[in-house]
Amino acid sequence: MRKFPIWFYILAILAVIGIFFVGFKSIISSLVVSIILILIIWLLFRFLGNRPKKDDKYQAAVKQSQKLRAKNNPQTKKRKTSLKVIDGKKK
């Protein structure tokens, strides 16, 4: 037989006492409101907080691609200009 933790028994006793003092209809309505709130909070955490992370293999491929592009694009060397200074006749 599975044993439940002590907090489970305390919660069950409080629930039974609550049904007798508050009334069954009030308990049902509060449960419905609680379930709706929990569902809304769960959906918010699921859609906003749990963004999909990029795959590690994808990140490695991106780095490799960037390195290959860096190797293929060598630094531009200064070209010699084809213009020459022509000294004119000095008077």
Candidate from 12-16, 58-62, 78-82 with smallest mean pLDDT: 78-82
CA dihedral 31, 33, 34, 37 (to 10 degrees): 160
In this prediction, residue 47 carries a pLDDT of: 80
d(CA 90, CA 12): 112
Please give the single-letter amino acid code of residue 60.
A
Q: What is the average pLDDT across 38-43? A: 89
**Among candidate residues 34, 15, 12, 11, the one with its CA nearest the CA of residue 24:** 15
Q: How confident is the model at residue 67 (pLDDT cuts 50, 70, 90)?
A: confident
Q: What is the average pLDDT across 67-86? A: 73
pTM (2 d.p.): 0.36
Candidate from 24-33, 45-54, 58-67 with smallest mean pLDDT: 45-54
Residue 73 gets the label, from left (phi > 0), alpha (psi -120 to 50) or beta, of beta
